[in-house]
Structure 1
C-alpha cells in the first residue's frame, strides 16, 4: 500500500517507520520539519520490559518520502496532536472518497469534531497506544509496548478496509485489538491523559506521586467523576478500561496506579510525553471539565486541580 502519514511526531513517525518495511510510506510535514525528515530521522524503539525474552530494541534511520500537503494514497493515517486536528480537517476534506482516512489520536469527541467535515463512510478511528515516547537531539526515542494498538471493528461496508489495515499493522509487528465502540473507548481512555497533569503538579513531581497514597486516592476519585461524564454522554462504560477497575475499592485502585506509574516503561513514556505534550494535556483537562459542567455532573475533585493545571 501507499500510506500517507499525517503528523510527523513520535506516533506518526514510529508507526510510519514500522509500516515502511512492507509499504511505501510518505509523511506530510510542515516546511521546517520536512527538511529534517529528508535528511533522515534516527529511530529507537525500546521493547517494554527492557527487552525481556531476548527481543532487542528496534533501531534504524527513517528516510520517508515527504510532502507538504495531503496527497492521494491507499490509506492516510492521521496522528496529530489533538489540539491541531481542527486546523487540519479542512485540508483533509478533498481526500474524502478517494483516500481512506484513519484517525489515530487521543480525543474526547472525535465524531463530533470530524463530522463537520467528513461523512462517516470516509474515515475510521483507531488509537496508537502501543507506542509512547518523545524527541531527542538525534531523533525519536520511544517505548514499544506488547499491546495497545486499537482499531474500530467497523460496520459491514467498511470491514474489508479495516481488515486490510489490521493486517498491515500486524505485519509491522503491532498487536491490534478491535473495538465495537471506538469513539466511546477513546473518550474513556482520554480521561487518564487529561487528568494526570493535575495530580503530578499537586504531588510535586512524578516520583512523589508514585509514593503519595493520598494523591493517588484523589486521582482515583477524579477519574470516577470523569467516567460519570462519559456515562452522561451516553457512553456504555461498563467494559471500557479503566472504568471497570475504578469500581473497586479506592485504596486498591490507588495502589495499582502507584505500581503502574512506578514501572520504568510507564515512567519513561509519561515524562517524555509531558515534555512535549503538556498543552494537549491541559486542553484535555478543561475539555472534560467543561463537558461535566454542561451535562450537570458534579466534579469537585477534578475541578480542584484547575488552578494548578491552568498555571
Structure 2
C-alpha cells in the first residue's frame, strides 16, 4: 500500500514514522520547507507500548513531495484545525482514487468536508495513539500511547484496521466519532482558556477557584453539545461533570496532575496551543449561533488573545 501523509507536524510525522516500518510512506511538505526537511526529521519518542521511561532519538527520512502528482492508496490528513478547510478543498481537487483518513480532534469536522469529496472515500479518525509537540529547535517530541487510534464505524474501517495493527498501532471503532470529537474537543478548548487566565498550566493546578471556573465553562460546553443531540452522560469523563463541585474540583486537579497528562499538556503547549485556541473560538461561535449563553466560556476570550500575543 502506498500512503501519503499530508501534514508534517507531530501527529503526521509520528504516524508516518510508525507506518513506514511496514509500508511505503511519503510525506507532503510545503515547497519552501523542502530544503530544510530533505535530510529528514529528528524525532524524540517515548514509546509507552514498550514501557519506555525516557525519550529516545530517532532519525526519520521519508520520501518527500511538495504536491500530489500521483495516485495513492491512502492519504492521512493530519494538519492543525486552522489549516483543515484549505487542505480538504485542495484534496477534493487532486486526491484521485485515494481513500482519505482525516486524523483530527475537531469540533465541527463533518460540516468541513466539502460536498465534492465522495463521503464514501472519507473516514474520520482520532489520533489517540500519539501526543506531543514540536520544540523550538524543530524537533518533534512525541509520546506513543497504548491507547488505540479511534476510527469511525464505516465500511472502510475493516480495511484500515489491519494496516494500523501491522505497524503496532491499536485500533478501536467508535460509532458516530464526530459526536465523540465534539465532547473531547471541549476538554482541550476549555484548557486553552483556563491556562491563559492562570498564566501557566502549573499555576492553574494550584488555583482551586480557576479549576471551578473551568468546570463551569466545561459544563456550558456540554449544554451546547446537548443542542446537537449529544447526551451529557454519553462519554467519559464528561459524564461525571454533574457531580458536586466539592468532589469534582479535587478530582479534576488530581487528573490533570497525573505525570503523563501533565507531560502531554506541557508538550502540546509548546506548539499546539494555537490549535486549542482555534477550537475554543469555534465553539464560542457555535454557541452564539445556537443562542446559548456561555458566561464562563466567553470570559476566557481576552485572556486567550493576550496569551497568543505573548506566545506567538
Tell me, yes or no, whether TM beats 0.5.
yes
Aligned to 2:66: 68
Q: Which residue, out of 208, 230, 237, partners 1:235? A: 230
1:88 equivalent to 2:87? Answer yes
The corresponding residue for 1:35 is 35
Please, which moves more after superposition, 222-231 or 268-277? 268-277
Matched, 1:183 2:182: no
For 2:233 and 2:125, how far apart are their aligned partners in 1?
Answer: 20
**Structure 2: distance between partners of 1:151 and 1:263:** 27
In the alignment, what sits opposite 2:146? 146
The answer on 1:249 being equivalent to 2:244 is yes
2:284 match = 289
For residues 119-161 of structure 1, the C-alpha deviation after alignment (integer angstroms, 9 at most, x for no partner) is: 321201001122111223262111122215211111xxx2xx3
- Alpha-carbon offset, residue 17 of structure 1: 0.1
SS at 2:229's partner residue? coil
Deviations 1:33-91 (A, max 9, x none): 33333201122211349x64x67755421111111122421110000011001111221
For residues 87-117 of structure 1, the C-alpha deviation after alignment (integer angstroms, 9 at most, x for no partner) is 1122101345610000001211111011334
Partner of 2:257: 262
Corresponding residue SS for 1:247: coil
In 1, Cα distance between equivalents of 2:246 and 2:61: 48
Alignment of 1:170 onto 2:168: no
Does the Cα contact within 8 Å between 2:4 and 2:25 map onto a contact in 1? yes
For the residue of structure 1 that corresponds to 2:211, the secondary structure is helix
Give, in whole Å, the separation in 1 of the partners of 2:138 and 2:278.
Answer: 29
| Conserved 8 A contact 1:78-1:103 | yes
CA 69–97 in structure 1, closer or farther in 2 if over 3 Å, else same? closer
Contact 1:199 1:219 in 2 (8 A): yes
Q: Does 1:105 align with 2:104?
A: yes
Please say if 1:192 is aligned against 2:191. Answer: no
Is 1:7 matched up with 2:2? no
Where in structure 2 are the equivalents of 1:269-308 lying within 5 Å?
A: 269-308=264-303
State the SS of the aligned residue for 2:165. helix
- Number of residue-to-residue matches in the alignment: 304
Q: TM-score, normalised by structure 1?
A: 0.90
CA distance in 2, matches of 1:232, 1:96: 35
Contact 1:37 1:64 in 2 (8 A): no
226-235 vs 79-88, greater mean Cα deviation: 226-235
User: In the superposition, relative to structure 1, how do residues 59 and 186 fare at CA in structure 2: closer, same or farther (>3 Å)?
Assistant: same
Root mean square deviation, CA, Å:
2.1
Contact 2:124–2:152 (8 Å) recurs in 1: yes
User: Within the alignment, does 1:129 sit opposite 2:128 as a pair?
Assistant: yes
What is the CA–CA distance in structure 1 between the aligned matches of 2:172 and 2:56, rounded to whole Å?
Answer: 22
CA contact (8 A) 2:45 2:58 kept: no
Against the structure 1 CA distance between its residues 239 and 297, is the aligned structure 2 distance closer, same or farther, given a 3 Å change threshold? same
Unaligned runs of 5+ in 1: none
Shift of 1:185: 0.9
